[in-house]
Amino acid sequence: MNIGEAWIAPAAPVALSRRERKKARTRSEIYSAAMKLFLRRGFDTVTIEDICAAADVARGTFFLHFPGKESLLDEYGERASQDLAAMLKRQGGSAASALRLALRALAERASHQPEVISMLVHEVVTRPLPIVEQKEPARTLVQLLGAVIQRGQARGEFRRKAEPLIAAIALAAAFFALVYEGSRRGGDLDIEEAISQTLDVVLHGLNEARPHPRKTPASQGRARL
């Protein structure tokens, strides 16, 4: 199974039992309570006990669903990636337009939830994980972008010598850097323009296009010699 099949193809719907539905609701309630606390008080000042009290669950219940406070940010990233996977599944057109659409959608999410994104970027920077590690059922941003790039290579849009995941890492890293810089500037950054420039650099490089030298009759004559 290639990257596209593994990371863009939607999972088959599975009927959940009553117990599983209750478990999913509890997980969602813990997540929602935690995010509200993070936004109101900041990630570092919120404790697991605070989250349990807000969600009205026991400490043991929290650890049944999440191994720690940081994993709640992983949950945010997973949900964002699942939304992005669904959007890319519906998207037609070129791979380049899909990449632009994906980054714009993430930028829009970041503009609506800047505090959460800032916390997520901070955690990525301070506790980096193997960025190409595949985790099921999470569809990571790198894997999703890699799938789009691979699709573009299969269609002849992108050169095939490039490793899709390496290109995706570069694109994802650039996006997080833009989010961080926008946060540092207090939102004073044109994300739309920044994304366009980032894609242009990733897709076309930094070299200026050099026009082919125009052949003159004299040079054509020399070429035949």
Residues sharing a CB contact under 8 Å with residue 125, sequence separation 6 or more, in sequence order: 180
Asked if residue 55 lies in contact with residue 33, where contact means CB atoms within 8 angstroms, the answer is: yes
Per-residue pLDDT at 215: 54
Q: What are the sequence ranges of the domains in the chain? A: 3-9+70-204
Structure tokens that stand for 179 in this block: 């989010």
Structure tokens that stand for 143 in this block: 């894997």
CA distance 167 to 171: 6
With vertex at residue 98, the alpha carbon angle to CA 97 and CA 104, rounded to the nearest 5 degrees, is 90
- For residue range 29-41, what is the model confidence (pLDDT) as tens digits? 999 999 889 878 8
Ranges under pLDDT 70 in the chain: 1-14, 111-139, 183-187, 208-225
Residues sharing a CB contact under 8 Å with residue 100, sequence separation 6 or more, in sequence order: 195, 196, 199
CB atoms within 10 A of CB 210: 6
Per-residue pLDDT at 113: 66
Helices H / strands E in the chain, number of each: 11, 0
Q: Choose which CATH entry (3.40.50.300, 3.40.228.10, 3.10.20.30, 1.10.357.10) describes domain 3-9+70-204.
A: 1.10.357.10
Distance of alpha carbon 193 from the chain centroid: 18
Q: What does pTM read for this prediction? A: 0.64
Structure tokens that stand for 87 in this block: 């959007």
